[in-house]
Amino acid sequence: SKSFIEPRYLGLSVVGSAIGMAICTFYWVATAAQIKAVFGWVSIAIAIVMGLEAVYGKDGTGTRVKNPGVMDQMLFVLACIAGGGITAWVSLGIGEVVALWLLFRHRTCIETAIGTGVASLALSLGIASVSEQRPQGGSDDLSLEPKSSP
């Protein structure tokens, strides 16, 4: 059976996404108007890029980066930080960044690019949801039951 997840990029994307999500959740809080604008423009840009890939892409047969260097991986993490920030605001971003990076930069097949992007989004949102469930008092009780106020 063929794996549709690129493990190296899954790990890097989750790290970058977590950083971006933390920044845009706790330090750079956007207004509703800014979020609406970001969602609109990001959605349009992703649609255009995916459309171009569908029409002009070679589906994994083009030139690909076989052994990415440190600089390539650093650029990927920076892109994932931006994707994580967008994900914190509008719940889309990191999966698309990962999929597009793998499609355009590494010329992976579309199944692997999308599979890695979806896994990255799922893990990133899973980590974010667990971190949001932590009580403010410093307790490690992660139960999802409502806390009574004193």
pLDDT at 131: 65
Total-model pTM: 0.72
**What is the per-residue pLDDT for 20?**
92
pLDDT of res. 142: 45
- Residue 28 — pLDDT band, cuts 50, 70, 90? confident
The b/e string for 22-61 (b: 16+ C-beta within 10 A; e otherwise) is bebbeeeeeeeeeeeebbeebeeebeeebeebeeebeebe
Return all residues near 9 (Cβ < 8 A) that are at least 6 apart.
76, 98, 101, 102, 116, 120
43, pLDDT greater than 50: yes
